[in-house]
Chain A
């Protein structure tokens, strides 16, 4: 299906100003400042006025992973009461949707369900968008991904000049499209638009391939997985163990649980933890399986390329590049992977 970009924004505008669609919150990527090209997710509440000039749906991923909208940095897990809140999340990129697939396996499975996560998942509609440009750390294609989504969305939008090519990915998406049709025009697909979308997608893949040419990696990461600790020591020398990389990673979800009980009702709160921190695996008496920074550094890579592969049948890196951007020691994740895997 085809919808005009201007029409789509008209629809969004009505969602805000007239409460159309009954969304309590609309979340989309906006430019963080005039000085740089970073994007972050901004939340727009019902009735608020909004400057669409800063919105960037079709470029590259945001700085904050979509994880922060589903797996909050701090969340009460007992008692598990969450506000009924319908959210429309727009501009989610393919790397983040793949990360949500991993989090889904980690949080909603046969053994347990994290109720907060499930609540936010159930009450949001995702409109994903193709990447038409990339950041200089993006490397989704090295991890088996593509700069556009083929599943995991309710609706996907691929921009082609003044139009969006719209793909429906779920029942929820289908219903939203029917609803949109009441106020804006949605047309059938046109061959020239489809062709242009396919061409653009290929161009972005080529951009990624060119950018990441030098970052070799094997199919099964066996070189990395079998690397001796001395090699890890060399590549982790600069790491200060701040844990920035794990906090920003869309697939990291290690948590610490606190008891915040004040009265009769027990209260448990979870928040992010990081395997890069010294105390992470420390047990009573002071013992820890990974006392050296190099061991903790290795743990993150092993978790992504070996442990998560065993646990979830998919590697835990979607190639978003955020960990490289955030690192105060300027450690390039891609480069480290390729050095270690050789």
Chain B
């Protein structure tokens, strides 16, 4: 009988300090974990606790896993103290995935900010694996300031594809920091990107406030509710529909989500909080 609480141990083989508050742990897994992009895992720091995070690596890789984590509280503080060689544990994968088959031959929009870029990097890298299947991919990424931008080293690579556009915006540029891309909240990029909304899908992930206003803007632009894919962040313990913490009406964010269409959840209570 399979134990849903089973932990697959792993060892950190590299740490990328993406920004002052965000780092990517690169983990060697003792047993491969196959997931589908959009799904999440529970990452444990032994003896401290665990939390839900999304792999930020491509789903074509299963022997190792990247997890990009923002320091926000108790467990993530220990994540930020971890060193190369430290043991971590992973449970999962859990939940729903991005429906890649629905993105084929379409103009896909990806909109994200802050640590919401973690699942979007996974999606993006997975899409790049067979990039020719998609008509175009427009990836709009936001951050507070230039130094809060993550995946800095990968940007040049991501801009090499003919049918891929990767645009960035920062809210503010503090004195002394250099920035020659867009300034403003990430949604200002929507105007710049010249997107064809009809029948096309869009994926949104980011802090609650960005999710809310991003979704509203996309609806105004003409995106259909059933074509908007949101990754919902709710409190979770188990990851598979036992603990009930993430219940949104009849849905569980963990097993029916985290990826929902706006159409599915728009009538549930307090989805943005």
Give complex CA distance A291, B270 in Å: 10
Cβ of B46 under 8 Å from chain A: yes
Q: Contacts A282-B235, A283-B233, A287-B208 given; indicate if A255 touches B243 (C-beta within 8 A).
A: yes
Q: Pick the contact of A78: B5, B72, B270 (CB < 8 A).
A: B5
Query: Are A280 and B242 in touch, CB under 8 angstroms?
Result: no
Provide the residues of chain B in CB contact with A115, threshold 8 Å. 1, 3
A104 to nearest B CB, angstroms?
13
Query: Are B5 and A80 in touch, CB under 8 angstroms?
Result: yes
Query: Are B5 and A281 in touch, CB under 8 angstroms?
Result: no
Query: Are A284 and B237 in touch, CB under 8 angstroms?
Result: no
Cβ of A35 under 8 Å from chain B: no
Provide the residues of chain A in CB contact with B3, threshold 8 Å. 77-78, 80, 115
Complex interface residues of chain A between 107 and 124 (CB less than 8 A to chain B): 107, 111-115, 118
Cβ of B224 under 8 Å from chain A: no
Complex interface residues of chain A between 251 and 269 (CB less than 8 A to chain B): 253-262, 266, 268
Cβ of A310 under 8 Å from chain B: yes
Q: Pick the contact of B243: A78, A256, A289 (CB < 8 A).
A: A256
- Comparing B99-107, B166-174, B245-253, B259-267, the segment that makes contact with chain A is B245-253
Query: Are A259 and B50 in touch, CB under 8 angstroms?
Result: yes
Provide the residues of chain A in CB contact with B50, threshold 8 Å. 257, 259
Provide the residues of chain B in CB contact with A270, threshold 8 Å. 237, 243
Query: Are A281 and B235 in touch, CB under 8 angstroms?
Result: yes
Cβ of A290 under 8 Å from chain B: yes
Provide the residues of chain A in CB contact with B249, threshold 8 Å. 306-307, 310
Give complex CA distance A113, B50 in Å: 21
Interface size on B, residues (CB 8 A): 44
Closest to B248 in A: A289
Query: Are A257 and B47 in touch, CB under 8 angstroms?
Result: no
Q: What sequence of 0s and 1s flags, for each residue 205-238 of chain B, a beta carbon within 8 Å of any chain A beta carbon?
A: 0011000000000000000000000000111011
Provide the residues of chain A in CB contact with B234, threshold 8 Å. 281, 283, 289
Closest to A310 in B: B250
Query: Are B269 and A289 in touch, CB under 8 angstroms?
Result: yes
Provide the residues of chain A in CB contact with B7, threshold 8 Å. 78, 266, 268
B7 to nearest A CB, angstroms?
4
Cβ of B185 under 8 Å from chain A: no
Cβ of A191 under 8 Å from chain B: no
Query: Are B76 and A284 in touch, CB under 8 angstroms?
Result: yes
Query: Are A260 and B47 in touch, CB under 8 angstroms?
Result: yes
Give complex CA distance A80, B2 in Å: 10
Provide the residues of chain B in CB contact with A275, threshold 8 Å. 244
Give complex CA distance A112, B240 in Å: 7
Complex interface residues of chain B between 17 and 74 (CB less than 8 A to chain A): 44-51, 70, 72-73
Provide the residues of chain A in CB contact with B248, threshold 8 Å. 289
Cβ of B241 under 8 Å from chain A: yes
Give complex CA distance A253, B273 in Å: 23
Query: Are B6 and A78 in touch, CB under 8 angstroms?
Result: yes
B52 to nearest A CB, angstroms?
10
Cβ of B144 under 8 Å from chain A: no
B206 to nearest A CB, angstroms?
12
B40 to nearest A CB, angstroms?
13
Cβ of A55 under 8 Å from chain B: no
B174 to nearest A CB, angstroms?
22
Closest to A118 in B: B1
Provide the residues of chain B in CB contact with A258, threshold 8 Å. 49
Contacts from A to B (Cβ < 8 Å): 77-78, 80, 106-107, 111-115, 118, 253-262, 266, 268, 270, 273, 275, 280-285, 287-291, 295, 303, 306-307, 310-311
Seed contacts A111-B255, A303-B244; 10 additional CB < 8 Å A-B pairs: A111-B240, A254-B243, A255-B238, A255-B243, A259-B44, A266-B7, A280-B245, A284-B72, A284-B76, A285-B72
A-B contact pairs, 18 of them (CB 8 A): A80-B5, A111-B255, A112-B4, A115-B1, A118-B1, A255-B243, A256-B237, A257-B5, A259-B44, A259-B49, A262-B47, A266-B46, A283-B235, A284-B76, A287-B273, A289-B248, A289-B269, A303-B244
